[in-house]
A and B are shown apart, each in its own frame.
Chain A
Amino acid sequence: MVKRKHADRSSGAAVDSKSTPKDEVLPAVRTSDEPAPKKQKWTNKQRVLIFSSRGVSYRARHLMTDLRTLMPHSKAETKMDRKDSLFVVNEIAEMKNCNRCIYFEMKKKQDLYMWVSGVPKGPSVKFLIENVHTMLELKMTGNCLKSSRPLLSFDTTFDKHPYWALLKELFIQTFGTPNHHPKSQPFIDHVFTFSIADNRIWFRNYQILEEDGSLAEIGPRFVMNPIRIFEGSFGGPTLFSNPHYISPNEHRRRLRKKNANKYLDKLQSKRLHAENMRQPSYRLDPTDDVFTTISPEEAAKYEK
Chain B
Amino acid sequence: MASEESELDSVDSDTELQEAFRRGELKPGLNIEARAPKVHINNVAGMKSKLQEISQAIPWVERLDSTCDPAADVLGTEKESGEDVVHDDFKREMRFYRQAQTTVLESIPRLHSLGIPTSRPEDYFAQMAKADEHMTKVREKLLAKQVSMDRSEKAKKLRELRKFGKKVQHEVLQKRQKEKREMLDAVKKYRKGQDNKLDFLESGKQKIDGNKKQIHQPGKKRQFKNKKFGFGGQKKRSKYNTSKSAKDMSDFSVKKHATRPGGVKKAKAASKNRPGKRRRQKGKNK
Contacts and interface: CB of A to CB of B under 8 A. Distances in A.
B132 to A, nearest CB: 9
A241 interface: yes
Secondary structure class of chain A's binding surface, majority of residues: mixed
Contacts of A123: 50, 54
B211 interface: no
A58 interface: no
Contacts of B108: 188, 208, 211
Contacts of B95: 195, 197
Contact of A186 (B40, B62, B65, B117): B117
A193 B96 contact: yes
B47 interface: yes
Contacts of B41: 238-241
Interface string B44-78: 10111011011110100111111111010000000
Interface in A120-171: 121-123, 135-136, 138-141, 143-147, 149-156, 158-159, 162-163, 165-166, 168-170
A191 interface: yes
Nearest to B134: A136
A118 B123 CA distance: 39
Interface string B114-158: 001111110111111110001101100110000000000000000
A123 B134 CA distance: 38
A117 to B, nearest CB: 11
Which of B62, B105, B137 has most chain A Cβ within 10 Å? Answer: B62
A234 to B, nearest CB: 15
Interface string A237-264: 1111111000000000000000000000
Contacts of B96: 193, 195, 202, 204
Contacts of B103: 151-153, 191, 193
B47 A229 contact: yes
A3 B126 CA distance: 7
A226 interface: no
Contact of A213 (B92, B104, B142): B104
A188 B46 contact: no
Given A145-B120, A187-B120, A239-B43, A153 B125 contact: no
Contacts of A145: 120, 126-129
Nearest to B118: A188
A178 B128 contact: no
A169 B54 contact: yes
A4 interface: yes
Which 8 A-B residue pairings sit nearest by Cβ, starting from the closest? Answer: A153-B103, A152-B65, A213-B101, A243-B40, A146-B127, A162-B47, A187-B120, A198-B86
A151 B97 CA distance: 14
A2 B64 contact: no
A162 B44 contact: yes
A159 to B, nearest CB: 6
Contacts of B48: 162
A43 interface: yes
Given A146-B129, A153-B100, A189-B119, 4 more contacts: A141-B138, A155-B69, A188-B118, A208-B108
Interface of A: 1-7, 43-44, 69-70, 118, 121-123, 135-136, 138-141, 143-147, 149-156, 158-159, 162-163, 165-166, 168-170, 172-173, 176, 178-179, 185-189, 191, 193, 195, 197-198, 202, 204, 206, 208, 211-213, 215, 218, 229, 231, 237-243
A245 B58 CA distance: 34
25 contacts: A6-B123, A43-B58, A121-B53, A122-B50, A123-B50, A138-B138, A145-B127, A147-B127, A152-B65, A153-B66, A153-B100, A166-B47, A166-B51, A176-B64, A186-B117, A187-B118, A188-B118, A189-B118, A191-B103, A197-B92, A204-B93, A211-B118, A238-B41, A240-B43, A243-B40
B107 interface: yes
A145 B69 CA distance: 27
Contacts of A241: 40-42
A4 B124 contact: yes
B20 interface: no
Contacts of A170: 54
Contacts of A121: 53
Nearest to A6: B123
Contacts of A162: 44, 47-48, 51
B82 to A, nearest CB: 11
A176 B46 CA distance: 25
B189 to A, nearest CB: 74
